[in-house]
Structure formats: C-alpha cells, structure tokens
C-alpha cells in the first residue's frame, strides 16, 4: 500500500508513509505475507533536529500559540545551543506570556553577545516595547533607535512596521505630556467619551483590507455589522483566535453600537484571550470592559478594572497600570454621592492631568461641571 493508499503488487515499500507507523505497517505486512519469516518491520527512524523543532515553533507563532511555541523553541535550543533564532523567539514567546523580566534578560544578552543584524534589530525592538509598556519612554526611544540602525531592507519588513507603530505611540505620548505642561490640553480637547481614544488601545494594527473597512472610525451600517458577524463566524471556525480577539476588541469601541452589544463583544474577546494565555492583552480587554461599564453606570465597573489592575501588576506594566488607576479614580468620582469626597477625587485627577488621555480628560471635564 503506497502513501496514497493504493496496492502495488502486495508489497510495502521503504518510502511508504505507513513506515512512520510501524505497528500498523507490521500488521498489514503480516496480512499480505502470512508465511514470511519477517514478522516485524523496522521502526521509523527519527533524528532530532534543531531546525525541525524551530519550524514547528514558528508555525505555532503564526497563530499566537505562544504556550506551544515556547516548548518547541526550548527543544530546538537543547539540541543546538548555538541556534540564536530559537533563543530570540523563545524570549518573544515568554514576553507574550507575561514573563517580561525573563524575556528582557534574554533580549539583553542577545544585544550584548550577538553580531547578526537581524537578531539585533529584533532584540532591540522588543526591549523598546518592554520599556514603553513600563512607562520608560526615553529608554524605549533609545532602544528603538538602536533597532533602526540594524534594519536590513526587505529582510524584516514586519519589524520595520511594528517599529513605526511604536514610534508613533511614543511620539503621541510625549506630545501629550508637552501639551499638558503648557496647560493648553484641556482647552483643546472635548472628545466624545464613547470614542475611547488614546494609549488605551495598545493592540497591533490590522493590515487586511477587509478588516480595515470594518474597523474604520465611522458610523457603522447594519450591513457592515452583518459582515462583521459573518467574518467573526469564519474566524471562529478556522481557529484564527488572535485575529478574532483583536477584531472583537476593535468592534467593541464602535460608538454606533449599543453599550450592551459592545459589552458582549468584549466579553467574547476576554474568553478568547484567556485561552491564549496572553496576560497583557487580557488586562487591556478587562480595562475596556470596565470603561464600557462606567459609561453604562454598571456597578461591575470597579470589579472589571480591578481584574485589569491585578493582571497588569504581575509584570509591572506601569503605563497600563497608570491607565487603569486613573479610570478607577474616575469611576469612584462618578459614583461618589458626597460632594466633598468627590471634590477630593477630582483634585487628585487634576494633579495627574499631564498623563491623561483624551478620553480621560473628557470624563474629568464632565465630572468637574
């Protein structure tokens, strides 16, 4: 029987797919030649390969399967300790799973002990992202510039794209800080709170044209929402959970949808990202759900924000922690019945004005009236 399942003169060839399953192949062989002295076939010979496990790790990364990916990269490193790409991707997997300190030490070793430009470009980028999410903007900028110096055209366009996004975020935060120091920001901003803009949306951007149409910042028609639901089902069936998570999260920020629908979308996103064991994105999802609950004056807002805060503190994501704490104060002020206590909370928030996002400033202005 050949790999295609066809009989060829009642023979089993060495190159047949069945050889990879020796027990099954031996049973078939005995049925074909019951009088043969050979009763067992040779077992399939597997030679461990660093590249074999590395390739499987990359395949797992394509679907954000970081839990599985880290085991493959670890296996690759055990076979070949000099396989630097396995070391890099193992650290990326650890970072995505919330093991920031461990990952940072590996990235630091790579930039200190490696000479390959592509490795150095990636390692410096991930160090920049860690510093950014910890609120250390100057260090993030330094690492980002180091990453750019090692950029090799047409080799790592994905890293270049991510670097551009991160640079945009850093510039935006630094600009907001300067505006706040000039005391001009409160006059300039009067955004609709339902738009939820600012550093809150710290998730990768989409490049797929169809997704970009769905995620555009414009009122959404019933037809477009129906298309979103169809795409959502397709992604669920195909197992594209990471893409579906981000799609649900972005969709939940559409001001044209009702608060209940938006809350349900975030709840679905939380279920998905919990399965993928990516704590940073999970904390963001809980934060967004808390913000939506605030808009609905739902008593669960404090609980949702507390979930986000607990997760973010596990890996010292200072920038995100600050976001959560500010929303927690705003929520407390919104619910406070005592004018005196509310005034104290508002003064605390005004003291933090330099770091407030557009959405937070808008809420603060409404509560201050």
Tens digit of pLDDT for each residue in 48-59?
Answer: 567 778 888 888
The pLDDT tens digits for 306-319 are 999 999 999 888 88
119-133, 240-254, 262-276: which has the minimum mean pLDDT?
240-254
175 and 201 fall within a common domain = no
Alpha-helical (H) ranges within the chain are 22-32, 50-61, 66-79, 84-96, 100-113, 117-133, 137-149, 157-181, 185-188, 209-215, 222-238, 241-251, 259-276, 279-295, 301-314, 318-335, 339-351, 358-368
260 and 333 fall within a common domain = yes
Residue 175 is predicted with a pLDDT of 74
166 and 226 fall within a common domain = no
Question: Is residue 14 situated within a structural domain?
Answer: no
Q: Report the CATH number that the domain containing residue 325 is assigned in CATH.
A: 1.25.40
Question: Is residue 62 situated within a structural domain?
Answer: no
Residue count (the chain) = 369
Question: Is residue 108 situated within a structural domain?
Answer: yes
142 and 285 fall within a common domain = no
Q: Are 144 and 125 a contacting pair, CB within 8 Å?
A: yes
Under the banding of pLDDT at 50, 70 and 90, the label for residue 12 is: very low
Instruction: Return mean pLDDT, the chain.
Output: 74
Question: Is residue 248 situated within a structural domain?
Answer: yes
> What's the start-to-end Cα distance of the chain, in Å?
81
Question: Is residue 27 situated within a structural domain?
Answer: no
295 and 148 fall within a common domain = no
The pLDDT tens digits for 88-104 are 999 999 998 889 999 99
What is the domain range of residue 221?
189-368
- Residues 140, 202: Cα–Cα separation, whole Å: 15
Is residue 2's pLDDT more than 60?
no
251 and 342 fall within a common domain = yes
Domain count, the chain: 2
Under the banding of pLDDT at 50, 70 and 90, the label for residue 341 is: confident
Q: What percent of the chain has pLDDT over 90?
A: 22
204 and 175 fall within a common domain = no
Under the banding of pLDDT at 50, 70 and 90, the label for residue 301 is: very high
Question: Is residue 15 situated within a structural domain?
Answer: no
Q: Are 248 and 232 a contacting pair, CB within 8 Å?
A: yes
Q: What is the pTM of this model?
A: 0.67
Question: Is residue 257 situated within a structural domain?
Answer: yes
Question: Is residue 338 situated within a structural domain?
Answer: yes
């Amino acid at each position: 029987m050949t790999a295609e399942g066809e009989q060829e003169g009642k023979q089993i060839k060495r190159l047949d797919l069945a050889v990879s399953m020796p027990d099954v192949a031996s049973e078939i062989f005995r049925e074909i030649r019951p009088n043969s002295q050979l009763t067992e076939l040779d077992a399939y010979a597997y030679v461990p390969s660093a590249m074999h496990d590395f390739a499987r790790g990359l395949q797992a990364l394509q679907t954000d399967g970081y839990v599985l990916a880290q085991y493959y990269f670890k296996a690759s490193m055990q076979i070949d300790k000099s396989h630097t790409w396995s070391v890099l991707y193992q650290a990326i997997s650890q970072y995505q799973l919330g093991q920031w300190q461990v990952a940072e030490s590996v990235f630091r070793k790579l930039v200190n002990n490696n000479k390959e430009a592509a490795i150095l470009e990636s390692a410096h980028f991930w160090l920049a992202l860690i510093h950014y999410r910890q609120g250390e903007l100057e260090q993030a900028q330094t690492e980002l510039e180091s990453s750019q110096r090692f950029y090799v055209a047409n080799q790592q366009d994905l890293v270049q794209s991510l670097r551009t996004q991160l640079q945009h975020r850093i510039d935006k935060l630094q600009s907001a800080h300067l505006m706040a120091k000039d005391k001009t920001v409160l006059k300039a901003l009067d955004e609709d709170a339902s738009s939820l803009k600012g550093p809150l949306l710290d998730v990768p951007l989409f490049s797929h044209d169809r997704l970009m149409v769905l995620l555009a910042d414009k009122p959404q028609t019933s037809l477009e929402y129906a298309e979103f639901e169809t795409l959502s089902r397709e992604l669920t069936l195909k197992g594209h959970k990471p893409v579906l998570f981000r799609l649900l999260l972005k969709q939940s920020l559409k001001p044209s949808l009702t608060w209940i629908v938006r809350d349900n979308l975030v709840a679905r996103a939380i279920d998905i990202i919990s399965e993928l064991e990516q704590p940073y994105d999970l904390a963001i999802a809980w934060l967004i759900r808390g913000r939506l609950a605030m808009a609905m004056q739902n008593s669960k807002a404090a609980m949702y924000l507390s979930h986000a805060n607990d997760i973010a503190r596990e890996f010292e994501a200072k920038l995100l922690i600050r976001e959560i704490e500010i929303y927690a104060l705003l929520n407390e002020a919104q619910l406070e019945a005592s004018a005196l206590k509310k005034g104290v909370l508002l003064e605390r928030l005004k003291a933090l004005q330099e770091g407030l996002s557009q959405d937070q400033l808008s809420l603060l202005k409404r509560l201050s009236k």
